[in-house]
Every structure is written in C-alpha cells, then in structure tokens.
Amino acid sequence: MTDQTIANHATAVLQCLSDKLQAEKQLCLALDYSHRALSDEELQLDEAAKLKGFVVPLKHRSLNPEMRPYWLPLAGKNAEHLLPSIEQALQEASPDLIAEGNGRRVAGWLEITGDAKQAALHISQQMIRFSPLGGKHLLRLHDPAVLWALWPLLNHEQQKYLLGPVASWSLIAPNGQLIALQIKPDAGNNKGTPDIWGRQLWQDIALIAPFNQALLAYLAQNADLQIEQLDHLHELGFAAIKRARLLGFSDDADLALFTQHAFTIHPFFDRHPLLQKCLAARQADSYYGGLVAELSDSDWQSIAANTF
C-alpha cells in the first residue's frame, strides 16, 4: 500500500470505530505479542495496554506467559490510543513486511457486551482446543491473517459460540481495509455441538498457513483489491488447496504454489491436459513444484487460455 492509500484507509477506519465509541459501545483494542523489535510508537502502545488494560488469561504449556495478548479498553482518555493503533495496524499489514516475517501485532478492535475481562476469558478458552487429529492446539485468534481465513470455514453456530460475548470483531483484512466479522445466517443444517470441531474442519485449519502464503504472494502483485474480491479469493483458494490435498500433496510450499496457480493462471488450471499429464507422472515422493518445473511460459499461457 502507498502512503496515500494507508492514509485513506486510516481515515475510513477511524471514522467507523469512532462512531462505535460515540454510540457508547464498549470497544477494546486487542494486541498480540510480537517477536520483532518494536518502534517507539509501538512500544508506547504496548505499554499503555499493559498499564491500562489487562492480559488475556491464556494458559498453554507451549506458551510463555509473557507472550499472552493484551486488551485495552478504549473508553474515556484511552480513546487517544485508537488512531495510533489504526496507523500501526495498517503499516504492519503490508505484504512486503509480512513476507519479511514481521507478523502482525494489532489483532483488531472488539465490541464487547457485558464484562470485558469475562469476554477475554471466553476468548482465551476458545484459543485452546482439542483436535481429533491429536493433542491440544493453540488457535491464534489474535493473528488477523489466521482469524480472517478461519472465519468463513465456520458455520453459524461455531461462529456464534467462538465469539460469545464479543458482539463484533473488527480487523484489518489482508487488503488493508477494515472488516467486521459477521456471523453467518443460520442455515439450519448445523451438525454436532458448536464447541466441538470435527476432523474435516481441523484439516482445513491446517491449510490456512499455505493459503496465506499464496494470498500474500498474490497481493504483492495485485494491490487495492476490494473486500468482495478478497472473499472470492478465499473461496477460490480453499477450493484449490483442498484439491491439491486430495491429489496427495502435503508440503506447505507445494500447497501454496498450487493455490497461486489457481489465483494467477485459472481457477481450474489443473483440469488442463498438460497439468493432467504432469500429475499422472506423480510418484509417492513427488513434489508439485518439481512436477511442473519443466512447463514453459508458453505452456502456462496455453493452460490459462484453454482451461474451461
């Protein structure tokens, strides 16, 4: 994003969130722990969260207590921290910075109903989950890239149970625009209990990391996408990455490359005879990247033009 684009987005985000505060909504800024060195402005925001806010009481054997997220209520004088948090959230959402491994600290702005500390306790409990694939898992809800990618994978009841007393979780989407996570309409076909996630969902959650790798590469070359386009990429990308998994590919780099090709070549590029020929040559230990390495630029152009 250019400086002007960031400034434009910051103005829009500030207006939206300020409207919530003026309507006397209970709004909390959520900050995740960061492994990178922070700027003076970022350190000031972190210090404010620790002094004026409270820790999310996350307990997990693999998590250092010092690395737990903080929430900062933005009522009263704390509202002065809203604009800095927006500016920092937009800066750190840059695909170039994320590609350097900087990560994202500003997890979003949460509209809370009831007691904010009880809401933080609820969210902390949602972040520690048992998987039928084995063991306890730490679900990184305070990483906007993870939460944004996870949200559409959940059904109505799962979304509702996950947020609990959090009425709305606003975050900066991968395109740099503010979105408020909305609970899906109840389709009436939910199965099981919302607090228990099935094997299929956990398998899809495991695809979030390679999906985000592919999306990051695409965004680096395609700036200024609208939310609707981003939603389409989510749907298209997860459809493609699931096909790659069904084909037997499991390496994250392979899954990401397959998804990139769905983004940049054709959503169903793997139907083309040239791709079918490559895939037919696959051995048990073959990597997708190796199978398609011999395809020329003209081959890819043909695949893009002649896939239906």
What confidence score (pLDDT) does residue 189 get?
67
* Tokens linked to 303: 């695949």
What confidence score (pLDDT) does residue 45 get?
96
What confidence score (pLDDT) does residue 190 get?
64
pLDDT, tens digit only, all 308 positions of the chain? 677 777 888 999 999 999 999 999 999 999 999 888 899 999 999 999 999 999 999 887 777 888 899 999 999 999 999 999 999 999 999 888 888 888 899 999 999 999 999 999 999 999 998 888 778 888 999 999 999 999 999 999 999 999 999 999 999 999 999 999 988 888 776 666 787 788 999 999 999 999 999 999 999 999 889 999 999 999 999 999 999 999 999 999 999 999 999 999 999 999 999 999 999 999 988 999 999 999 999 999 999 998 87
What confidence score (pLDDT) does residue 185 get?
84
What confidence score (pLDDT) does residue 182 get?
84
What confidence score (pLDDT) does residue 132 get?
84
What confidence score (pLDDT) does residue 1 get?
65
What confidence score (pLDDT) does residue 76 get?
94
Segment 164-179, tens digit of pLDDT: 999 999 999 999 999 9
What confidence score (pLDDT) does residue 131 get?
84
What confidence score (pLDDT) does residue 110 get?
98
CA angle 167, 224, 81 (to 5 degrees): 45
What confidence score (pLDDT) does residue 192 get?
63
28 sits in the region (left: phi over 0; alpha: psi -120 to 50; else beta) called beta
For 115-134, b where at least 16 C-beta lie within 10 A, e where not — what string?
Answer: ebbebbbbbbebbebebeee
Q: How are the residues of the chain apportioned to helix, strand and coil, as percentages rounded to the nearest 5?
A: 55, 10, 35
Cβ(132)–Cβ(203) below 8 Å: no
89 sits in the region (left: phi over 0; alpha: psi -120 to 50; else beta) called alpha
